[in-house]
Chain A
């Protein structure tokens, strides 16, 4: 059984650009959640996908969007990057609802 993986590990972008982050869920998991973790803060929920549909969203603007694919891998897209988007982005996979969520190692995004 493989764990949750994320790519890339690090990324540097400039303000106004767009970015795509990727996540491969743990085998057998059909739910993926994305979190943003700013420096010195706890992770903040962005959204969750279940069976390729958005299944809940946190307090993030529409320029944060996502996709979940039939193999349950996922993408997080952020348009019109702002300096405050600099953070660690975490992906977590699990079964539906109350199942335990397993986190990936994260992608460190720096916006200059």
Chain B
């Protein structure tokens, strides 16, 4: 079964602390992994995708196929990083572009 699991509903850290938002997936095939972010009162937006191998707003994520994980990391959290984060998966072999989302993790960065 295709599934994305985000084990933490809430992650609370202090400003300047490292952040790791966990994401594990279950998928038989070649997945494409994404992180989406939703800031307060804003729409869901793409943060990064594993095939781009970019660092966006200081965040990085590495696809680990052995552990079926795609954890989101940032070395020093900022208050403006406070938001809801969703990990998502998409099949690279299909044509639909269907995204499978995890339940989301709320990141709270305290001053």
Residues of A within 8 A of B (CB): 4, 31, 33, 35, 40-45, 48, 50, 55-56, 58, 90, 92, 94, 96-106
A103 and B95 form a contact (CB under 8 A): no
Interface range for B: 20 to 34
A97 and B93 alpha carbons, distance in the complex (Å): 9
Are B103 and A103 in contact (CB-based, < 8 A)?
Answer: no
B interface with A by C-beta (< 8 Å): 4, 6, 32, 36, 43-46, 49, 86, 88, 90, 92, 94-104
How close is A42's CB to chain B, nearest CB, in angstroms? 3
Known: A40-B103, A42-B103, A98-B90. A48 touches B98 (CB 8 A): yes
Q: How far is the CB of A97 from chain B (nearest CB, A)?
A: 5
Which residues of A are found within 8 Å of B102, using beta-carbon distances? 42
